[in-house]
Amino acid sequence: MATTIKSEFKRLRNTEVWRTIFRSGSGSSNLHRSQAVQQNIFLHLFSVKVRSRALEFSPTWYLGALTLSTFLVLIVTGILLMFYYHPSVPQAYADMKDLQFVVASGVFLRNLHRWSAHAMVFLVFAHMFKVFYRGAYRPPRQFNWVIGVFLLLLTLLLSYTGYLLPWDQLSFWAVTVGSNIAKAVPLMGKQIRFLMLGGNEVNANALLRFYVLHCVILPLAAILLVGVHFWRIRKDGGLYVPEKKKL
Amino acid sequence: MSDVKTQALAETMGGAVPDDTCKDCSRREFFAKVGMGALAVAAAGAGLFTYEFFSPNVLFESAPIIRAGKPDQFPANTVTLDAQSGIYLINGVKGFYALGAICTHLGCLTAWKSELDLIACPCHGSRFNRDGIKVAGPAPQPLPWLKVWLAEDGNLMVDRSATLNEPEYVKV
């Protein structure tokens, strides 16, 4: 049985359709394997070869990969939540309640989105502490650290903009307070708050602006920077893995 | 580039003599500078356009002037919160006056605590007395005094956009 599946798969990999999609062919030589990575738009961000030590738990605690996992969960659940959410006043609050009590699996998806968001903020910080205390930010990886700082900012902004969307008392006052903190910027604070809220009070305009930021602009920016972040790992010589100390 | 050529270039530009930084530059460098200048102007215009686009010209927000109600709705020596408009109307010993109810710290709606004889903010614990003076907490400013007047129809009116520097009372 297993050999049948194996030989069928081998036949499939030699069909013309498969070969037009994956050009590297069915061989398993080092050349074939590296081409399979290099010629794939998603995989080519990564190294063809990594040291086996880099795949162990201790150098990274897998914190970056876990952060990516929560981000992917957030994208999937977030897109699903968008199908039942209108960013308007007062419909937003009712839709949030419908997701909890009416929509099939709605409460599961909403809570998954919420807990993944909390986990992502935690994991981003943990990842950065791990990178910092191991000294993995040092040359030649300085620029990837800077990209990471921007990704931290994007993560926090995504959290903050998502906080308004349930349109309940907690989110309303949190954004009232947050936008007043933005107003404390010297000279242009008032204009910043006005642009942020699309008015002088937390209102329908503010809800719509936060929605567009949360669902379109910030995720696209994050996806772009995550791509650069992974590509830079390869360009900077792979994950930072110090030699094991000889006892 | 020779002086003759520079002179010819100046004539094609409507008599404007190129500045010193470009006296010796080649045609290519000159056009590169013109191009960069045009891009800079376009970028500034795009920035201005973006700022204008994101600043709403019409806002559907509540009007600053509020009809608070008839004076006899406010018993003597009481502080009444209008949560919808974010103001206190106070019938004090010297007369009627109004305070903004939005905390000067970070914009939360405060509440009147009659048992404490204080205005208290739920967000970060600022407290004010009935004259708007801060008695505790992080608020950097007192609550603002707002302009109050008696309209012809007998209603007390409050202008939330008009803050007073000196206390003023409306006697009825």
% of chain A at pLDDT higher than 90: 78
Mean pLDDT of all residues in A93-100:
96
φ/ψ (deg, to 5) at A27: -65, 165
Q: Where are the strands (E) in chain B, listed by range?
A: 65-69, 78-82, 87-91, 96-100, 111-113, 118-120, 127-128, 134-136, 145-150, 156-164
pLDDT at residue number A246: 66
Residues written for chain A: 247
DSSP string of A111-149? HHHHHHHHHHHHHHHHHHHHHHHHTTTSTTSHHHHHHHH
Pairwise pLDDT comparison (A145 vs B8), residue with the higher score: A145
- Whether residue A177 and residue B59 make contact (CB cut-off 8 A), yes or no, is no
pTM reported for the whole predicted model: 0.85
Q: What domains can you pick out in chain A, each with its CATH number?
A: 2-42 (no CATH), 62-235 (1.20.810.10)
Residue B30, Cβ density class (10 Å: 0-12 exposed, 13-18 middle, ≥19 buried)? middle
Tell me which chain A residues have a C-beta less than 8 angstroms from the C-beta of B107.
176-177, 179-180
pLDDT at residue number B1: 46
Mean pLDDT of all residues in A99-107:
96
Q: How many CB atoms lie within 10 A of CB B72?
A: 9
- Whether residue B56 and residue A199 make contact (CB cut-off 8 A), yes or no, is yes
Residues in chain B predicted with pLDDT less than 50, given as ranges, are: 1
Give the nearest partner residue to A201 out of B51, B55, B61, using CB atoms: B61
Q: How far apart are CA B105 and CA A183, in angstroms?
A: 11
Q: What is the pLDDT of residues B37-70, one digit of tens each?
A: 999 999 999 999 999 999 999 998 888 999 999 9
Q: In the numeric block, which tokens belong to residue B60?
A: 């559907």
pLDDT at residue number A14: 86
Helix-then-strand count for chain B, H and E: 2, 10
- Whether residue A179 and residue B107 make contact (CB cut-off 8 A), yes or no, is yes
pLDDT of residue A185 exceeding 90? yes
